Amino acid sequence: MTKILIVAEHAGGKLNAATAKCVTCATAIAGAEIDIAVFAADAGDIAAQAAALAGVKKVLTVENAANAEPLAAVLAPQVAAVAANYTHVFGPSTTFGKDLMPRVAALLGVGQLSDIMAVESAYRFRRPVYAGNAIVTVEAPQDKKLVATVRAASFQPAASGGSAAIESAIESASAAADIPTHTRFVSRSAPATGRPDLQTASRVVSGGRALGSADNFKIIFGLADKLKAGVGASRAAVDSGYAANELQVGQTGKIISPELYVAVGISGAIQHLTGIKDARTIVAINKDAEAPIFEVADIGLVGDLFKIVPELEKALG
């Protein structure tokens, strides 16, 4: 019997969309029973959102003041304790899941499978390596618990309409788990932009090195607002200080799959392309006709971005 525990990611009382994508990945395993665990100071609203996801059997809550912030060192022993009765433990391949899940795996004495992009069976999966330049099919042993992260861009979020039971798992979590105090949350700077979140936006406009300055980068925000899009950036633009780190798209930044991706002044290094391969439509605007971005773009326009972007904004009305 395949029993999958999914660790919920949440912030500000809201379930992160990546959790619903983990559910879709889990439902691809035939006959799997799927539960979600919510670790929080106050799990109420989050558990209700998790319970509404189609395909989920049970939502387990572990409410503890120590769980107010997602610290891997604090959460991992609790996750490992709750995972005792499961064959699989999944988390999203976000910075939250990447930080937490390997710590859980090591506590359970097993390895981890990172970035599941496709399910072949309960113990056989596909995942990208070398910045997505190769896809490997990997088999995990059936006699060990499988801890894995799920590549969110590869799965659609699970539909709502479910009505899973909500239960507290505080006893099993705290009885077995020794919660360390050596790691403490200090602060988080999460800029409120009013724009769609980069990871879940259906449209994204990204800027690259060619923008030339943080001031010039503002035209990317202007175009994004016109398209009601999220904003992204290439590593070059982030390293040069034109855009904030959380906007980086690519191998070591965010992997996204919007309906529309507009790459402005981005040449298209392999590491960037790996972050946008799953976009439905890619539009590239670049002055260099030889730029590799045009090899993957559905629609390409060669020219000066400082002329084209204002024209485009105007044409969009």
Partner 1 sequence: MSKILVGLKRVVDYNVRVRVKPDGSGVVTDGIKMSINPFDEIALEEALRIKEQGGATEVIVVSIGAAETQQQLRTGLAMGADRAILVQADSAVEPLVAAKVFLKLIEKEAPTIVLLGKQAIDDDNNQTGQMLAALWQRPQATFASKIELAGGKAKVTREVDAGLETIEVDLPAVFTTDLRLNEPRYVKLPDIMKAKKKPLDIIALDTLGIETAGQFKTLKYEAPATRQKGIMVKDVNELIAALKQKGLV
Site for partner 1 in 173-212 (CB under 8 A): 180, 182-191, 199, 203
Query: 237 and 243 in contact (C-beta within 8 Å)?
Result: yes
Among the listed ranges 48-56, 113-121, 154-162, 206-214, the one in contact with partner 1 (CB under 8 A) is 113-121
Residue 115 lies near partner 1 (rule: CB under 8 A):
yes
C-alpha of 33 from chain center: 23
Residue 14 lies near partner 1 (rule: CB under 8 A):
no
- CB nearer partner 1, residue 24 or residue 199: 199
Residue 65 lies near partner 1 (rule: CB under 8 A):
no
Residue 290 lies near partner 1 (rule: CB under 8 A):
no
Residues 83-102 that bind partner 1 (CB under 8 A): 94-96, 98-102
Buried residues in 284-317 as b, exposed as e (16+ CB within 10 A) = bbbeeeebbbbebbeebeeeebeebbeebeeeee
Among the listed ranges 41-49, 54-62, 125-133, 207-215, the one in contact with partner 1 (CB under 8 A) is 125-133
Name which position in 4, 237, 282, 291 contacts partner 1 (CB under 8 A): 282
Residue 121 lies near partner 1 (rule: CB under 8 A):
no
Residue in 261, 230, 260, 258 with CA at minimum distance from that of residue 246: 230
Q: How far apart are CA 126 and CA 138, in angstroms?
A: 6
Q: How far apart are CA 196 and CA 176, in angstroms?
A: 40
- Minimum distance from CB of 8 to partner 1 (Å)? 15
Q: How far apart are CA 263 and CA 283, in angstroms?
A: 6
